[in-house]
């Protein structure tokens, strides 16, 4: 017999039940955390040609002369009637200020805010963000990073239209450029999974984070919670902790379209990626309890599923059950992830998501261990 008979409840039957529970957990994870994005359709209100009010784009830059030279024109040439771009030059020691000055001669809507080095007061990115927000003339604020660029010249209009008439936060996808390497696919798959989770949650009215590479919110909302006051002591979190604190069922919209994605250059070594992940993970302890529970259950479902399969290979009665369960999971994953990947323009990751998922699960603990020793001494955009 290669399958449990359940005539009696012995070790093979118990292992089979545990594995089937693991399959149930992974099904629930996909249905609650990926499927909402896969099934998402843009609301009619976002398709309407609503009045395009003035908007401020805020970018913080620290030694970003090369990135600004390459990417800033794609921001400044957005097809939007009335917008300003504010570059906060935060103590740059390279040619960043000159680059901004040269572009401002061509684009009158480009403005600069300089922060000078202070020998006695050290600050992080949140101070630079605060300077940019205070300098903004308009109520609606759109954020991206100096090393990012939009997928099209309609990025800004789509972000602003997503506000509609009653939203205060707009969440979007910040992707990484596609390169031909194993590490690139791992980074992009990790980024996609994170985005699929937080966008799906937002679609269901339970938003818990966003990414500063592609984010928008109102100045009124920012000042209503005294900005970053509650987490200013943490170097990161100007995006995810702010959204985690201010988002509710009614004030968040998502903007999901290929034209509104932003792209940035991915890390090229595992060490650099590990440092980036460690920096991001420093914010997670400050998430709301409900958010930590949600994320914990998502990871638990994935680990439990794979761990529950391993014992099945060690008894004759369950040796065929393991691949049967695994194939069932892969079929479901293929269907759901295929649609979600299409939504975010990452269709080439479909094969990777089936076979690289377990690799990410293996290296996630490495990020958490590295976080314990990681001491950020400066911010990078």
Q: CA 149, CA 159: separation in Å to the nearest integer?
A: 14
What residue ranges define each of the domains in the chain, with the CATH number in brackets? 38-266 (3.90.550.10)
Segments in the chain forming alpha helices (H): 11-33, 35-38, 44-47, 65-76, 96-106, 125-135, 155-162, 182-203, 219-224, 240-246, 270-281, 289-309, 321-343, 350-355, 357-373
Give 351's DSSP letter: H
Per-position pLDDT tens, the chain of length 381: 566 666 667 777 888 889 999 999 999 999 999 999 999 998 766 655 556 799 999 999 999 999 999 999 999 999 999 999 999 999 888 999 999 999 999 999 999 999 887 766 777 889 999 999 999 999 999 999 999 999 999 999 999 999 988 899 999 999 999 999 999 999 999 999 999 999 999 999 999 999 999 999 999 999 999 999 998 888 888 899 999 999 999 999 999 999 999 999 999 999 999 988 988 888 888 999 999 999 999 999 999 999 999 998 888 777 888 889 999 999 999 999 999 999 999 999 999 988 899 999 999 998 888 888 766 555 554
User: Using an 8 Å Cβ cutoff, are 214 and 144 in contact?
Assistant: yes
Q: What is the dihedral of CA 284, 178, 254, 350, to 10 degrees?
A: -90
């Amino acid at each position: 017999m290669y399958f449990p008979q359940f005539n009696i409840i012995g070790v093979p039957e118990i292992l089979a039940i545990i594995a089937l529970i693991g399959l149930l957990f992974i099904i629930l994870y996909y249905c609650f955390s990926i499927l909402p994005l896969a099934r998402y359709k843009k609301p009619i209100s976002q398709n309407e040609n609503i009045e395009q009010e003035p908007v401020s784009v805020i970018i913080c830059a620290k030694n970003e002369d090369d990135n600004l030279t390459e990417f800033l024109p794609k921001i400044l040439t957005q097809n939007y009637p009335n917008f300003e771009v504010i570059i906060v030059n935060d103590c740059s020691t390279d040619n960043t200020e000159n680059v901004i000055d040269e572009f401002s001669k061509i684009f009158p809507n480009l403005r600069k805010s300089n922060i000078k080095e202070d020998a006695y007061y050290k600050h992080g990115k949140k101070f630079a963000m605060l300077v940019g927000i205070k300098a903004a003339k308009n109520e609606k604020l759109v954020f991206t990073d100096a090393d990012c660029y939009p997928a099209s010249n309609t990025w800004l209009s789509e972000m602003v239209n997503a506000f509609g008439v009653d939203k205060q936060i707009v969440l979007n996808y910040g992707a990484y450029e596609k390169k031909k390497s194993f590490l690139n696919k791992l980074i992009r798959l990790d980024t996609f999974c994170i985005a699929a989770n937080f966008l799906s949650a937002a679609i269901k009215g339970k938003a818990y984070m966003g990414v500063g590479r592609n984010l928008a919110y109102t100045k009124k909302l920012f000042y209503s919670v005294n900005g970053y006051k509650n987490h200013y002591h943490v170097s990161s979190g100007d995006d995810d902790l702010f959204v985690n604190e201010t988002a509710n069922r009614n004030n968040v919209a998502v903007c999901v379209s290929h034209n509104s994605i932003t792209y940035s250059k991915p890390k090229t070594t595992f060490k650099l990626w590990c440092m980036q992940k460690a920096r991001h993970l420093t914010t997670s302890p400050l998430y709301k309890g409900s958010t930590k529970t949600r994320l914990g259950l998502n990871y638990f479902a994935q680990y439990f599923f794979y761990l529950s399969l391993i014992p099945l290979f060690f008894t004759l009665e369950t040796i065929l059950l393991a691949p049967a369960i695994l194939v069932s999971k892969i079929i479901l994953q293929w269907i759901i992830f295929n649609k979600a990947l299409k939504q975010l323009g990452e269709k080439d990751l479909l094969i990777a998501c089936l076979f690289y998922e377990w690799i990410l699960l293996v290296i996630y603990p490495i990020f958490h261990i590295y976080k314990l020793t990681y001491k950020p001494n400066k911010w990078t955009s």
